[in-house]
Amino acid sequence: MTKGTNGTARKRGSGARAVVPRRKNSELNKLQEIPFKDIELLKNYLTERGRILPRRITGNTAETQRKLRLAVKRARNIALISFSEGHVYPD
């Protein structure tokens, strides 16, 4: 018995591990700067809820991830992408 990542006990070898699509290289790494107005580009690096994907999944370098962070924050500020998708404000 080994501990699963979600904290529950799990038999070794049993149960399928979640397959995360991994890319060694991200297209963003090739860009000198990331245009914050290009929301279609940014959306590739966001979850459905609008959070920035970790770079272990996207394959961004640390530098690229910083640029992405800046671009996403700018785009959020000017209401091009939302801070949080699917949140309903209580009346």
Partner 1 sequence: MRPQTARNDNPPGNPGNNQIVKEKTYMQGYESIFILDPEVNQDQQKGLLEKFKSIVDKNGGSIVHHDEWGRRKLAYEVKKRSHGVYHMFYLDNTPDALRALENQFRLEDDVIKWLSVSVEDVEEEFGKYKKLKSEGTIAQNMIE
Binding site for partner 1 (CB under 8 A): 35, 37-41, 74, 76-83
In angstroms, what is the minimal distance from the CB of 91 to partner 1?
Answer: 13
State which residue, 55 or 76, has the beta carbon closest to partner 1. Answer: 76
Contact predicate 70/33, CB 8 Å? no
In angstroms, what is the minimal distance from the CB of 24 to partner 1?
Answer: 27
Tokens found for residue 30: 């090739």
State which residue, 23 or 37, has the beta carbon closest to partner 1. Answer: 37
The alpha-carbon radius of gyration of the chain (Å, integer) is 17
State which residue, 10 or 74, has the beta carbon closest to partner 1. Answer: 74
Neighbours of 74 (CB within 10 A): 16
